[in-house]
Amino acid sequence: MNNNNNDRGIYLYFSSNNTITNNTANNNYWGIRLDYSSNNTITNNTANNNDRGIYLDYSPNNTITNNTASNNTHNGIYLYFSSNNTITNNTANNNDDGIYLLFSSNNTLTNNTAKENNYFDMGILANSYTYCNNLIENNTGSGDRPIKYFNHSVNLQNEILSELILCNADNSNINNVTIAGSDILNNNGLIISHTENSNFTNINSSDNYYGIRLAYSSNNTLTNNTMNNNNNQGIYLYFSSNNTITNNTVNNNYLGIRLDYSSNNTITNNTANYNTQDGINLWFSSNNTLTNNTANSNSYGIYLSSSSNNNTLTNNTVNNNNIWGFTLSINSNFNKISNNEISNNDETGITISNCNPWSSWCPGGNSNNTIEGNKISNNKIGIFSQQSNSTINNNTVCGNTNLDFNSSAWLSSSGNNNTCSSSKVNGWKDIGRTGTENGCKIECAECKEPNDVFDAVEMLEYLSGDKESSMPCWDLNNDHTINLLDVLALIDKIGIR
């Protein structure tokens, strides 16, 4: 039977003990849909080019076998609050998601092929560990590589997989595993849900949709992993706390490391560079520690937003970002930003505000943040604050293009022992500064523009690491960074003279 170009190709509603076989249900909104229907057999059907291929809604105890559900806009096979179904020997290719289980348990998925799907060949969304209770084995994903699923403790190493899913798999150890989805699409990833006390080491999950996604998972360790060139986040924590994320490389993703509703995590010694949006982003996430991370050449370096409170950010390097270095936004309070290197960011080094520094748009600010002991140089603006109260002490804020300190209203913000240029402050005055003029207690050292071979040697010593600090006026080509091109420009200048 052909059932094409309808809202529903084949539709069962509160209907049981039917056999649906050898039908074509293409170019509909739903190819085959079951609502509140059980004990049906769906076999040898084709449900292609629909919005959704085969869709079960509150429908248990059905058998779905030997069907093709491909080239659908969203899902090939989709189960919603549907349990105790058997799904075997089906093909679900070239959809947004191949086979997707949402709040569904006690299903058996075996010997299916789901590959070249845009996001996930096989997806599980479980807001409770009870939805992890499915049997999923011997399925093939993109690149004809295996999809593996575990809902128990597992020791897995030296594997190359299309997708790896852990759901309620406490006390697992995953080592030296490569997640390689489609060779054409960036899909799949390492998906972890409701899993605790597990170790993930030496994993390469690159060129996928996610690198590593943790949801509702705590007390795990992610160490020495590589998550590059993923379409979404390199590392994503969602309602996940007390995890340790260390020595990972997270470059060239849409977003490097993101925490949503995730607290008490330790993020240290990671590299998050060249990501389209943020290097590291915290959203509604508090009491985290970020130490010794590098977040360079992103749009935003490290971004805290939406009541992300009581976080400690220390000894991080945040340079050469296209917009802002550090950002505290939308009621993110009681955070401490200390001893970081923040330089050569195109707009601001540190923004403590929900305001745009270049316009009047300003819906709110932040309070009781501490900015201490940072080196902030060669940005357009060093520290920008609006509608925010902060304690700002012992920072070196020098050589920024426009202003070292900028705010139209510092409110009750205060600080002391900062170093800045008094000619580059807007409204700021250190507590310990004498006289009536605004500025810092300590003036920036005057920058002598390089002029001779001795200056060239000093610049080379800085670039080689033998000299710790640079001078802003060494940026001879005005590209907001000190590099070999500036040395060559000086040599050319000396030669002409």
Phi, psi of 11 (to 5 degrees): -135, 125
Cα–Cα distance for residue pair 355/387, rounded to 1 Å: 8
DSSP 8-state secondary structure symbol assigned to residue 473: G
Looking at residues 430-439, what average pLDDT do you find?
Answer: 94
| Same domain for 479 and 434 | no
Is the pLDDT at 126 greater than 90? The verdict is yes
Give the type of residue at 274: Y
**DSSP states of 323-362 as a string?**
SEEEEEESS--S-EEES-EEE--SSEEEEESSS-TTSS--
Cα–Cα distance for residue pair 252/227, rounded to 1 Å: 9
Structural domains of the chain, count: 2
| Same domain for 380 and 464 | no
Q: Per residue in 358-389, is it b (16+ CB within 10 Å) or e — as a string?
A: eeeeeeebbbebbbbbbbbbbbbbbbbbbbbb
User: Which residue pairs from 63-69 have beta carbons closer than 8 angstroms and sit at least 24 positions apart in sequence?
Assistant: 63/88, 64/88, 64/90, 65/41, 65/89, 65/90, 66/90, 67/42, 67/43, 67/91, 68/92, 69/31, 69/95
Q: Write out pLDDT tens, residues 169-182.
A: 999 999 999 999 99
Give pTM, 2 decimals.
0.92
| Same domain for 329 and 431 | yes
Q: Does residue 162 or residue 466 have the better pLDDT?
A: 162
| Same domain for 477 and 424 | no
Inside any domain, residue 492: yes
Q: Show the DSSP H helices in 196-258 as ranges.
A: none
| Same domain for 411 and 469 | no
| Same domain for 394 and 350 | yes
Inside any domain, residue 415: yes
401: exposed, middle or buried (Cβ count in 10 Å: 0-12, 13-18, 19+): middle
| Same domain for 458 and 439 | no
| Same domain for 364 and 327 | yes
- Band of the pLDDT at 471, cuts 50, 70, 90? low
**What share of the chain in percent tops pLDDT 70?**
93
| Same domain for 461 and 440 | no
| Same domain for 338 and 440 | yes
Q: Write out pLDDT tens, residues 42-93.
A: 999 999 999 999 999 999 999 999 999 999 999 999 999 999 999 999 999 9
| Same domain for 475 and 395 | no
Query: What is the structure's pLDDT at 467?
Result: 60
Inside any domain, residue 300: no
Query: What is the structure's pLDDT at 357?
Result: 57
Give the type of residue at 309: N
Q: Does residue 61 or residue 494 have the better pLDDT?
A: 61
Across the chain, what does the average pLDDT equal? 94
Is the pLDDT at 25 greater than 90? The verdict is yes
Query: What is the structure's pLDDT at 454?
Result: 76
Looking at residues 265-292, what average pLDDT do you find?
Answer: 98
Is the pLDDT at 487 greater than 90? The verdict is no
Pairing of strands 97-102, 120-125: parallel
| Owning domain of residue 480 | 453-496
| Same domain for 465 and 366 | no
Which residues on adjacent β-strands are paired with residue 222? Answer: 200, 245
Query: What is the structure's pLDDT at 488?
Result: 83
Inside any domain, residue 341: yes
Inside any domain, residue 463: yes
Q: Which two tokens stand for residue 106?
A: 């006690």
Domain end among 404, 428, 445:
445
Cα–Cα distance for residue pair 238/260, rounded to 1 Å: 5
Q: Write out pLDDT tens, residues 256-275.
A: 999 999 999 999 999 999 99
